[in-house]
Amino acid sequence: MTGSAVAIRPARLADAPGIAAVHVETWRAAYAGIIGDDYLVGLDPAAQTLTWRRWILASGSGDGVLVAEAGGRQGGEIVGFGSVGRRRSVTLPYAGEVYTLYVTVDWQGRGLGRRLLGGLFERLVKAGCESAFLWVLSENPSRFFYEAQAGRPVAKRQEPFNGVLLDETAYAWPDLTGWLAAQTQSSDPPRSPG
Ligand SMILES: CC(C)(COP(=O)(O)OP(=O)(O)OC[C@H]1O[C@@H](n2cnc3c(N)ncnc32)[C@H](O)[C@@H]1OP(=O)(O)O)[C@@H](O)C(=O)NCCC(=O)NCCS
């Protein structure tokens, strides 16, 4: 199945176990060697399901969770998700914040990350947020995905996590409407001559 056959849609409560499964799998794959093995081994899908149920229940107009769902109408498989909302601190001058964005390993590289990011940005713009940022571990090669999506590195910090200090980089998009318009143009079919 190609990435274009995957639906991007707002999360429902019933998606929480699928989101939790992707969360645990991608954390173990992406953060091995960065975050301690004890923490990654201890990640519990049942506990994550409860956390994601709470996030989905708390979703309002300006924040929320999107999923990428592969498969048919009988209930597909959650293969990616992202969450977004208003910035959690005022240290950076961007109104919205992408809290999470993960695509399961088997589905990476098929355009789902970009589509989820676009869906999250659309949600922010509808809520009146014209700019956004996110924090990513500086050691995580996925940060180059954000550079490929025209994110600009704007800040660095160290965050305590599981007993160590982790280096993080913030990427920002100062003009979400412009970013979304550029995506639409690049996905328009080429015009036939004449
Ligand atoms: C980062 C992530 C969300 C990207 O999603 P994806 O579905 O794999 O990415 P896409 O297929 O949408 O890629 C879109 C573009 O970004 C590029 N890209 C993707 N990952 C990249 C990387 N690590 N480095 C450089 N470019 C990258 C792709 O080549 C593609 O470019 P193109 O338009 O020229 O073809 C996904 O790989 C992931 O979940 N990784 C592990 C978890 C993680 O670290 N998440 C981020 C936490 S902040």
- Asked if residue 73 has pLDDT above 90, the reply is no
- Asked if residue 40 has pLDDT above 80, the reply is yes
Q: What is the mean pLDDT of residues 47-61?
A: 92
- Asked if residue 189 has pLDDT above 70, the reply is no
Domain boundaries, given as residue ranges, for the chain: 3-186
Q: Is the CB of 101 under 6 A from ligand 1?
A: yes
Q: Architecture of 3-186 per CATH?
A: 3-Layer(aba) Sandwich (3.40)
Q: Is the CB of 81 under 6 A from ligand 1?
A: no
Model's pTM, two decimal places? 0.93
CA–CA distance from 31 to each of 36, 39, 41, 45, 48 (Å)? 8, 10, 11, 16, 17
| C-alpha 114 – ligand 1 centre gap (Å) | 7
Q: What is the mean pLDDT of residues 90-106?
A: 96
150: which DSSP letter? T
> Confidence class of residue 194 from pLDDT cuts 50, 70 and 90?
very low
Q: What is the mean pLDDT of residues 118-126?
A: 96
